[in-house]
Amino acid sequence: MSETYVVGIDGSEGSVRAVQFAVDHASKTKAVVKVIHVLEWSPYTFLTNEELAERHKRRREELERAKTAIVDLVVKKINEQDVSIEGEVRYGHVAEQLQQYCEETGAGHMYIGRHGGGAISTRIFGSVPGALVQISNVPVTVVP
């Protein structure tokens, strides 16, 4: 069985570099690359049933748009190379979903791009790479 690499993507230049870095490694090791885009999702418990139904409808639409606009483009581009690649889109806390996806797929390594956000925004909101380094059960490569 071949090794699996997970790459968190968001459409940024950093995630493009992370995908290419993972693909370069996968081409040498014959690993499977699985890219995943996570849309932040927080449940609103104070909404009415009708508002929740509308929100879930929008959620499905957002998932479809993200798959088409982000994941499918990456998969199509990498399919032109000699590397096995699959894509996934999920909702939830980004770092937690990436870690969970690694566990589900049996991934042996995770790659993620670094945005280089401002110091203030990182202090207030945290960073996905920083959180992954703290919670991940597999090695995490943060690609600049």
Asked whether 134 and 38 are in contact (CB, 8 A), the reply is no
Q: How many domains does the chain have?
A: 1
What letter would DSSP give residue 71?
I
- DSSP, collapsed to helix, strand or coil, labels residue 74 as helix
- Over residues 78-127, the pLDDT tens digits come to 887 888 999 999 988 899 999 999 999 999 999 999 875 555 445 444 58
What was the pLDDT predicted at 128?
85
pTM of the model: 0.83
Question: Which burial class, exposed, middle or buried, applies to 41 when counting CB atoms under 10 A from its CB (0-12, 13-18, 19+)?
Answer: middle
Range of the domain at 31: 4-143
| CATH number for position 58 | 3.40.50.620
Residue 28: how many CA atoms within 13 Å on its side-chain side? 5
Q: Tokens for 104?
A: 């589900």
